[in-house]
Structure 1
Amino acid sequence: MEDENSTTSLASNGGEQVMSEVHLGCPPHLTRPHISHFTFPLPQSPLHVKGEGSCEIMSNLDKDGDLVLPRRSKPSNNCRLTIQHNITSSIPSVGLQVWRAELVLADFVLHKMSMSSDFNGIVALELGAGTDRGTDVLDNCAMNVHVNSGTFNHNRTSVYIRELDWIMSWPPWVGLDDFPSQNRHKYSWAQSELEEAEGASLLLAADVIYSEDLTDALFNTLRRLMSRGSSKVLYLALEKRYNFSLDDLDVVANGYSHFRSYLKSEEESREFGNESLPCFVGTRIDLAEIPQYVREYDRGNDVEIWQIRYTFSKPNN
């Protein structure tokens, strides 16, 4: 049975399997990892921002004395990422697939890199894309980082794969530095990495909203993580998933509604002011303003990106 948006359910000898719409057209019986390539133009360097409300622009005057502004040239080359993934998976292993919200989030990040320097030189923490938990999923993630490592070398970017179980919340278990390395889990955290993660300013997550229990665990983790260290902003990409509900006798997106119940709008946050409890403030990004950089997918109409901050007001003295 095909869902209205991105998931196809398949019966197999190993139980129910699901397939991302990104993989439609691929033979579902393939059991070995599949290789896909995703291409996008390399981001152009943005204009150097000199201060709030102003930009420093190198400019010239033409023979009539008119200002000649530099034009952004078209990208001269493209970047190609190689992704190893499964064509189908069980629900607990959906992180082995590529999902549409992940590609929308990639479009958003590429656009931000093209239009501003906000993401330059920062520490970012990716919390999950299809929920990255379990050795098989993490091994596949590490393989994809290794295969594409040459793409990031010129930017001196370092990428680390670590396990984060939302059910256990934050902070994750930290392996002792003097513990024999051969006995340590290869995806366990070091204390220095934990401190660096708490100092991250950017959090990312994609296609992790589909189970109410997991959504509760995610926001419990976010509550603890975002209240520590530096100020953080989360960009979360999701896809509404519709199912027929016997309680509602209608096709509803209950997972999405549960997610929205955690968020207050900017207006609600200002309205409650100092009397409000700590809360998550969410703003939906207008995807009409985000070009599609990644070419090999159909964005559709049910994907969204939310900017989420965790905020609280100090009591009056």
Structure 2
Amino acid sequence: MESEDGVQEPRTSSSSAVVRWRDEEQVMSEVHLGCPPNHSGPHLSLFTISLPPPHENSTVREHTDAVKDTSVSTSTMFDLDEDGDLILTRRKKSPSHHLALTIQHNITSSIPRVGLQVWRAELVLADFVVHVISMSSDFDEVIALELGAGTGLVGILLARVAKTVFITDHGDKVLENCEKNVDLNAEIFHGKDSVHVRELDWKDSWPPQESNASPSKRRYSCTQSEIEELKKASLLLAADVIYSDDLTDAFFSILKKLMSDNPDKVLYLALEKRYNFTLDDLDVVANGYSHFRSYMITGEDDAGCKQLDCAPEPFFVGEQIDLSHIPCYVRDYNRGHDVELWKIKLNHRALF
């Protein structure tokens, strides 16, 4: 389906693409199902976002170095359709109630380059960011870091109100595509100087070292001043970075270093459970999700029992956010039943 200006809109499906975890195989995001898989090269899609009337505090720009304890308000009432999409009452169609992002992405990719695609959890996290921006000033003027940003869609949305957004990923192809998307949508936020596309390899040391490599390699390296600003980041975001145990280990390793710099940092992470049949279990299981959960303690867990079993207390505290209270601001996609949104903070007790 194409829009009036010829930019193809994303097609979605509630079905899941079959994924085989081999680096050389091509995989397709569920967001692209229905699009031609034989399409070669980058593809432009128009993502339309419905914006509710602005919150009375949304124009306030009071500087803060720490994000407040952001809990999604359940007191605000919304009219939702049967699919959970937000129903907006308007006298007439108004461009001010819509936001259109043009995102360059691939229809398929190899496993190492999945960041070239748009994934369902990325759109759920985008819904959450739009919700917080619309309902409060909690994200106003923050310094934010997006980990494994992929196409950069979430960071671009956040840049509308944040002081600085570092959109990070690994690999030149992914970073070049992300930078292209920042350029395509620069008019929706308050200056490209506030958005930095940078490389952050989770397996490297933290803080990153200022690069002495060639100019082409230094293109996505942090300067010393940017490194100092990164340390002050109070808001962390990540979507669809949980699909490999090795990657999950690396993610929580860098997260531990990031949060140790500032124990008040908070991460909002969206993920999709992925099920595979294993011979060990003789069943279809989400082992990757179980590995992810092993890094956190939640309010439902009995921390005392964990300590009595002589197991180290998890370094993180996780709280699952109820997605039924987050309207679908991004149009024309299906959340499915296996996407989750988590708020993750440092477990202060594990520090002692």
Scaled by the length of structure 2, the TM-score of the pair is 0.73
Of 238, 246, 264, the residue aligned with 1:213 is 246
The runs of at least 4 aligned residues of structure 1 exceeding 4 Å deviation read: 72-76, 267-278
Of 240, 243, 252, the residue aligned with 2:285 is 252
**Cα pair 2:120 2:335 within 8 Å, conserved:** yes
Choose 255-264 or 156-165, whichever is displaced more.
156-165
1:258 alignment partner, SS class: helix
Deviation digits for residues 145-172 of structure 1 (CA, Å, limit 9, x no counterpart): 0100011138x87110010001114222
Q: % of aligned pairs identical?
A: 58
Choose 193-202 or 92-101, whichever is displaced more.
193-202
Residues 1:293 and 2:329 aligned together: yes
Residues 1:174 and 2:210 aligned together: yes
Which residues in structure 2 correspond to 1:101-250 (within 5 Å)? 101-129=121-149, 132-153=169-190, 158-175=194-211, 182=215, 185-229=218-262, 231-250=264-283
Of 303, 313, 320, the residue aligned with 1:284 is 320
Which protein is richer in strand relative to its size? 1
Choose 15-24 or 209-218, whichever is displaced more.
15-24
Based on CA coordinates, which of the two structures has the bigger radius of gyration?
Answer: 1
Residues 1:17 and 2:26 aligned together: yes
Deviation digits for residues 12-69 of structure 1 (CA, Å, limit 9, x no counterpart): xx9410000100111111111111010112354323499x9xxxxxxxxxxxxxxxxx
Q: Are residues 190 and 288 of structure 1, via their aligned partners in 2, closer, same or farther at CA, if it must alter by over 3 Å? A: same
**AA at the equivalent of 1:89:** S
**Cα pair 1:269 1:281 within 8 Å, conserved:** no
Q: Are residues 185 and 81 of structure 1, via their aligned partners in 2, closer, same or farther at CA, if it must alter by over 3 Å? A: same
Give unmatched runs, 5+ long, in structure 1: 53-71
**AA at the equivalent of 1:133:** H
Deviation digits for residues 234-278 of structure 1 (CA, Å, limit 9, x no counterpart): 000000000001000000001101000101013648758999856
Q: Are residues 24 and 308 of structure 1, via their aligned partners in 2, closer, same or farther at CA, if it must alter by over 3 Å? A: same
Give unmatched runs, 5+ long, in structure 2: 1-13, 61-67, 69-87, 151-167
**CA shift at 1:132, angstroms?**
2.9
Q: Are residues 7 and 308 of structure 1, via their aligned partners in 2, closer, same or farther at CA, if it must alter by over 3 Å? A: same
Q: Are residues 6 and 124 of structure 1, via their aligned partners in 2, closer, same or farther at CA, if it must alter by over 3 Å? A: farther
Match of 2:110 in 1: 90
**CA shift at 1:173, angstroms?**
2.4
**AA at the equivalent of 1:121:** E
Deviation digits for residues 194-247 of structure 1 (CA, Å, limit 9, x no counterpart): 111111111000000000000000000000110103621000000000000100
2:229 alignment partner, SS class: helix
Choose 253-262 or 36-45, whichever is displaced more.
36-45
Q: Are residues 306 and 89 of structure 1, via their aligned partners in 2, closer, same or farther at CA, if it must alter by over 3 Å? A: same
**CA shift at 1:175, angstroms?**
3.0
Match of 1:32 in 2: 41
Match of 2:85 in 1: none
Q: Are residues 291 and 223 of structure 1, via their aligned partners in 2, closer, same or farther at CA, if it must alter by over 3 Å? A: same
C-alpha distance in 2, partners of 1:157/1:42? 25
C-alpha distance in 2, partners of 1:281/1:264? 5
Of 47, 51, 54, the residue aligned with 1:45 is 54
Match of 1:6 in 2: 16
Match of 2:99 in 1: 79
**Cα pair 2:45 2:104 within 8 Å, conserved:** yes
C-alpha distance in 2, partners of 1:112/1:281? 21
**Cα pair 1:279 1:311 within 8 Å, conserved:** yes
**Cα pair 2:313 2:350 within 8 Å, conserved:** no
2:197 alignment partner, SS class: coil
**Cα pair 1:43 1:110 within 8 Å, conserved:** no
C-alpha distance in 2, partners of 1:256/1:313? 24
Q: Are residues 73 and 21 of structure 1, via their aligned partners in 2, closer, same or farther at CA, if it must alter by over 3 Å? A: closer
C-alpha distance in 1, partners of 2:205/2:325? 34
C-alpha distance in 2, partners of 1:194/1:79? 32
**AA at the equivalent of 2:170:** R
C-alpha distance in 1, partners of 2:249/2:15? 23
1:89 alignment partner, SS class: strand
C-alpha distance in 2, partners of 1:215/1:15? 20
Of 297, 313, 316, the residue aligned with 1:264 is 297
1:227 alignment partner, SS class: helix
The alignment yields a C-alpha RMSD, in angstroms, of 3.1
